[in-house]
Amino acid sequence: MKRLRTFIALAAVPLFLAACGNLSSSSMSGTSGSSKSGGTQLTGQSSDGDYEGVIKSGHYQTSKSRGVTNSQDSGNTYNLKSFENGMLNVSKKVFSTKKYVFQEGQHLSASTVQNWLDRKSKSNATGLNPASNGSTSSTGRNPIYIQALEEQDYMTQKNNKLSLGGVTIGIAVNSVDYYKKTQYGATFETKISKAAGEAYAKKAANTVLKRLRKKSALKNVPIVIAIYRQASNDSLVGGDFIAYSNNKAGATSVYSWTALGEKNYVFPVESGESSPNSNDESSFSNFKTEVQNFFPNLSGVTAQAHYNGKSLTGMHVNIQTQFYSQTEIISFTQYLQTAAQKYLPSGVPIDITVSSTDGVQSFLNRTTGSKKFTSHVFNSY
């Protein structure tokens, strides 16, 4: 039941408002076969690399299992964003953003997903997690392997109508299963190796694929299944996608897996650990030193670094500050614009967020192709 933490009663959705939401820039306005009280629109695309989303009768088409899929958020908030973003990225390998439109999963209900995520038991035959073996010892018990399962739908557009063109299922497996022996008791941990988690998830993926094929809407579309390994609760970055399979329309068992060499690191790297490229580490370290000299009391400079194999593919830099005056924030942000360009690795997209206890103060951004960082200072009249 804890998985229902943020479950939103769909019954509470206000009544559909007719004839509103005809966005002028939408590529399909006011025409849809599925609803007579309004039309289907798209959200608009902010860049070529993003999917557009689906609006029905002025409302965003939320996921049928909304809330359940947020379960992994409880321990490490990085996992949730990382998991959903990663699913989009894996999907882009198969479903082009030029041809497909994103829709939140409409075929798995909240109760279905919840049952799948629970342990298998007499009352829950569809549970994908192993039945309890009665043990509460960290090495003797059967851990919860699968922590989250999410559906994303990819729609194609023809004659002003959207139809399902493919589905991506994300399966998140734990690297550590946190459990309690008694209610409100201490939290214990069962570690799950990468190999064991991956093997368990791949078996579950096969089961999931068979189940999905029993739904008539999903019988004949490509289904991508991607396996994600959650980061532990103390991590400052989310987990990693380790493999995906692209299952052709109609296939009822997973034919092959493609390994993904993506991995996240936190800079500065903890002593004893190392990242794939020490040049990136020292670039970041020079940046950090330089920036920490700038102000007398800068609390922390860290970064999430994303690697594909040995290549850095992006970075999120996080700068925590003491309280600054607005002019200090403006000057600091200008300075960062220069320092980041000089010190941080070139050729990859980088975000820098400057926060204080009052929240985000400013942020800087460099996209893949650009040399310069753009910046924005959050302001108030």
Site residues (CB under 8 A) for its own copies, limited to 244-303: 264, 290, 293-297
Q: Exactly one of 24, 123, 139, 193 binds its own copies (CB under 8 A); which one?
A: 24
| Rounded Cα distance, 318 and 232, in Å | 20
Alpha-carbon distances, residue 353 vs 319, 349, 364 (angstroms) = 6, 14, 7
Distance of CA 335 to the CA centre of its chain: 31
Q: Exactly one of 30, 50, 109, 189 binds its own copies (CB under 8 A); which one?
A: 50
Per-residue binding letters, 128-157, with its own copies (x by CB under 8 A) = ------------------------x-----
Structure tokens at 332: 């600091």
Alpha helix locations (H) across the chain?
77-94, 110-117, 194-213, 278-294, 326-343
Residues belonging to the chain? 381
Minimum CB–partner distance for residue 209 and its own copies (Å): 22
Q: How far apart are the first and last CA of the chain?
A: 44
Could you say whether residue 379 binds its own copies (CB under 8 A)?
yes
* Residue 201: partners with Cβ closer than 8 Å, 6 or more residues away: 145, 146, 171, 173, 227
DSSP letter for 98, please.
Answer: T
Q: Which secondary-structure segment (H or E) carries 167?
A: strand 161-173
Minimum CB–partner distance for residue 304 and its own copies (Å): 4
* Residue 50: partners with Cβ closer than 8 Å, 6 or more residues away: 97
Minimum CB–partner distance for residue 248 and its own copies (Å): 25
Sites for its own copies among residues 337-366 (CB under 8 A): 337-339, 341-342, 351, 353, 355, 358-360, 363, 365
Sites for its own copies among residues 308-337 (CB under 8 A): 314, 316, 322-323, 325-328, 330-335, 337
Part in contact with its own copies (CB under 8 A); list of ranges 19-27, 136-144, 174-182, 191-199: 19-27
Minimum CB–partner distance for residue 141 and its own copies (Å): 30
DSSP lists the bridge partners of residue 60 as 55
Q: Exactly one of 1, 2, 12, 134 binds its own copies (CB under 8 A); which one?
A: 12
Q: Exactly one of 81, 119, 180, 203 binds its own copies (CB under 8 A); which one?
A: 81
| Rounded Cα distance, 113 and 263, in Å | 27
Nearer to its own copies, 223 or 364 (CB): 364
φ, ψ of residue 78 to 5 degrees: the values are -65, -35
> 147-160: b or e for each residue (b if 16 or more CB lie within 10 Å)?
bbbbbbbbbebeee
Minimum CB–partner distance for residue 271 and its own copies (Å): 21
Nearer to its own copies, 276 or 314 (CB): 314
Classify burial at 3, counting beta carbons within 10 Å of its beta carbon; exposed 0-12, middle 13-18, buried 19 or more. Answer: buried
Could you say whether residue 196 binds its own copies (CB under 8 A)?
no
Sites for its own copies among residues 83-102 (CB under 8 A): 84-85, 88, 102
| Rounded Cα distance, 54 and 35, in Å | 13
Sites for its own copies among residues 56-75 (CB under 8 A): 58-60, 62-63, 66, 69-70
Could you say whether residue 19 binds its own copies (CB under 8 A)?
no
Per-residue binding letters, 221-240, with its own copies (x by CB under 8 A) = ----------------xx--
Nearer to its own copies, 50 or 189 (CB): 50
Q: Exactly one of 78, 145, 244, 284 binds its own copies (CB under 8 A); which one?
A: 78
Structure tokens at 329: 């924030």
* Residue 380: partners with Cβ closer than 8 Å, 6 or more residues away: none
